[in-house]
C-alpha cells in the first residue's frame, strides 16, 4: 500500500504542478531576477502547493494512525500559509519567524519533543526543561536550512528527496510505520514536483515549498530517531549534513564579515560551486551526491559498533570541513586543515631532501 501511495502522490504532483503554475502567474506570485539570483527570467513560484496537495492526498489514502497526526496537519497548514503569504507579499523576517514558531509550537505542545538523547556509552541524557527550546531550535533551524539551499533549479527538491529516502528507509527497517508513511508520501509528492523543477525549471517551489519541506523533515526526523540505541541526535544531523553545514558556515561567514545574520549573500554552497566552474546542472548533481554520501553514512551509523560509528562521524566532519575550505564557504582565505596538510607535506619533503 505504501508503494502504491508513493506512486499516486507522484502522479498527483506531476499533474497538479502545471495547474499551480498557471494559478501563481494569475495571482502574480512570481520570482523576479536580480543580482543575487541565478535565473534570468520571471518565474512562477508557489510550486510548494503542488507538493502539499500531493501530501494531503497521500495522507487521506494511508490515514497513518498516530496521536501526532492532527498536530502535524495543523502545523503543516500554518507553515504552508506562512510560505504562501511570503511568496505573495514578501513577509518581513519577523512575521516569517512568527509563522515558523507557531507551526513548531503546535507539534511541540502535542508531544513532538526531544525529551532525551541516547548516549553512545549507555544511558540517556534527559533534557528536562531544555527539551522545548532545543526542539524549537531544531525545527526552526532545519526549516530555514532547507529554505537557504533553495537557490538552483531542482536543488531543494532533490536534496529533500534524498533525505526523505534515507529517513523512510531507516523508519521501515525500524518498523516505524507512521514516520515511514509520512516520508513516503512526502517523497512521492516532492519527486512529482521535481519533474517540473529540475533544470531548466518551469516553476519554483518558493517559500511555500521550502518552508513546508524543511518543517516536515524536521518533525519526522524527530519522530523517527528517538529510539535509536546510540547517537540518536547525530543520525538526523548526518542525514541533513549538507543543508545544516551550509547554514552554519553562512552564520560563521556573516560573523567573520561583521554582517547581520539575516543579510543575504551569494556565498552559499551552490554559489561557491558555480564560482569554481561547475555548470548549473553539475552543481546540483554534485550536491545530490554529497547528500547521498551523508545519507549512506547515516545508514552505516545505525548498523555499526560504537567505534565504527565514531569513525563514520569523524570522517563526515572532515569531509564537511574540506569541502567548505575547497569551495570557500567561509572565505577564500579560510583553509586551516588544507594549510596544515600542506605544511606537513612541506616538512616531509624537506626531510627527504636533507
265: left (phi over 0), alpha (psi -120 to 50) or beta: beta
* pLDDT at 16 > cutoff 60: yes
**Residue ranges of the binding site for Mg(2+):** 147, 207
Q: What is the pLDDT of residue 230?
A: 43
Count Cβ atoms below 10 Å from residue 179 Cβ, excluding itself: 26
pLDDT at position 6: 93
Per-residue pLDDT at 37: 56
The count of domains in the chain is 1
The reported pTM is 0.89
Could you tell me the three cell numbers for 42? 520571471
Q: Tell the residue number behind the cell numbers 507512521, with chain if given.
A: 178
CB atoms < 10 A from the CB of 251, how many? 10
pLDDT value for 145: 92
CA distance 25 to 44: 6
Over 50: is that where the pLDDT of 143 sits?
yes
Q: Is the peptide bond before 200 cis (omega within 30 degrees of 0)?
A: yes
For 183, the domain range is: 2-353
Q: What is the pLDDT of residue 53?
A: 97
Q: Which residues are annotated as a binding site?
A: 147, 207
Q: At 122, is the pLDDT very low, low, confident or very high (cuts 50, 70, 90)?
A: low
Region label for 277, one of left (φ > 0), alpha (ψ between -120 and 50) or beta (otherwise): left
In this structure, the number of other CB atoms found within 10 A of the CB of residue 351 comes to 8
Contact in structure between 55 and 184 (CB atoms under 8 Å): no
Asked whether the predicted pLDDT for residue 320 surpasses 80, the reply is yes
pLDDT higher than 60, residue 39: no
Query: Lowest-confidence range among 14-23, 195-204, 331-340?
Result: 331-340
| 232 pLDDT above the threshold of 70 | no
Cell triple for residue 27?
A: 495571482
CA torsion sign for 54, 58, 60, 61 is positive
Amino acid at each position: 500500500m505504501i508503494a502504491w501511495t508513493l506512486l499516486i502522490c507522484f502522479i498527483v504532483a506531476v499533474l497538479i504542478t502545471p495547474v499551480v503554475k498557471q494559478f501563481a502567474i494569475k495571482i502574480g506570485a512570481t520570482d523576479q531576477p536580480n543580482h543575487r539570483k541565478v535565473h534570468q527570467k520571471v518565474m512562477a513560484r508557489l510550486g510548494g502547493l503542488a507538493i502539499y496537495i500531493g501530501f494531503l492526498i497521500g495522507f487521506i489514502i494511508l490515514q497513518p494512525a498516530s496521536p501526532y497526526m492532527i498536530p502535524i496537519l495543523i502545523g503543516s497548514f500554518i507553515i504552508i500559509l506562512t510560505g504562501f503569504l511570503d511568496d505573495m507579499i514578501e513577509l518581513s523576517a519577523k512575521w516569517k519567524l512568527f509563522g515558523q514558531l507557531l507551526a513548531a509550537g503546535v507539534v511541540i505542545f502535542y508531544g513532538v519533543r526531544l525529551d532525551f538523547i541516547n548516549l553512545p556509552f549507555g544511558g540517556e541524557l534527559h533534557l528536562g526543561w531544555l527539551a522545548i527550546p532545543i526542539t524549537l531550535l531544531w525545527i526552526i533551524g532545519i526549516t530555514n536550512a532547507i529554505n537557504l539551499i533553495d537557490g538552483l533549479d531542482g536543488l531543494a527538491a532533490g536534496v529533500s528527496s534524498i533525505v526523505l529516502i534515507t529517513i523512510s528507509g531507516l523508519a521501515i527497517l525500524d518498523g516505524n510505520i507512521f514516520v515511514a508513511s509520512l516520508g513516503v508520501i512526502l517523497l512521492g509528492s516532492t519527486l512529482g514536483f521535481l519533474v517540473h523543477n529540475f533544470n531548466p525549471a518551469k516553476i519554483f517551489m518558493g517559500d511555500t515549498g521550502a518552508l513546508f519541506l524543511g518543517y516536515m523533515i524536521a518533525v519526522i526526523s524527530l519522530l523517527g530517531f528517538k529510539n535509536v540505541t546510540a547517537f540518536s541526535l547525530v543520525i538526523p544531523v548526518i542525514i541533513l549534513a549538507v543543508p545544516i553545514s551550509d547554514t552554519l558556515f553562512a552564520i560563521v561567514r556573516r560573523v567573520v564579515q561583521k554582517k547581520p545574520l539575516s543579510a543575504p549573500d551569494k556565498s552559499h554552497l551552490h554559489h561557491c560551486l558555480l564560482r569554481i566552474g561547475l555548470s548549473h546542472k553539475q552543481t546540483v548533481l554534485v550536491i545530490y551526491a554529497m547528500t547521498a554520501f551523508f545519507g549512506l553514512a547515516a545508514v552505516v551509523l545505525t548498523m555499526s559498533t560504537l567505534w565504527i560509528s565514531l569513525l563514520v562521524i569523524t570522517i563526515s566532519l572532515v569531509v564537511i570541513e574540506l569541502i567548505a575550505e575547497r569551495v570557500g564557504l567561509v572565505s577564500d582565505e579560510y583553509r586551516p586543515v588544507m594549510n596544515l596538510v600542506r605544511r606537513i607535506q612541506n616538512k616531509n619533503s624537506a626531510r627527504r631532501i636533507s
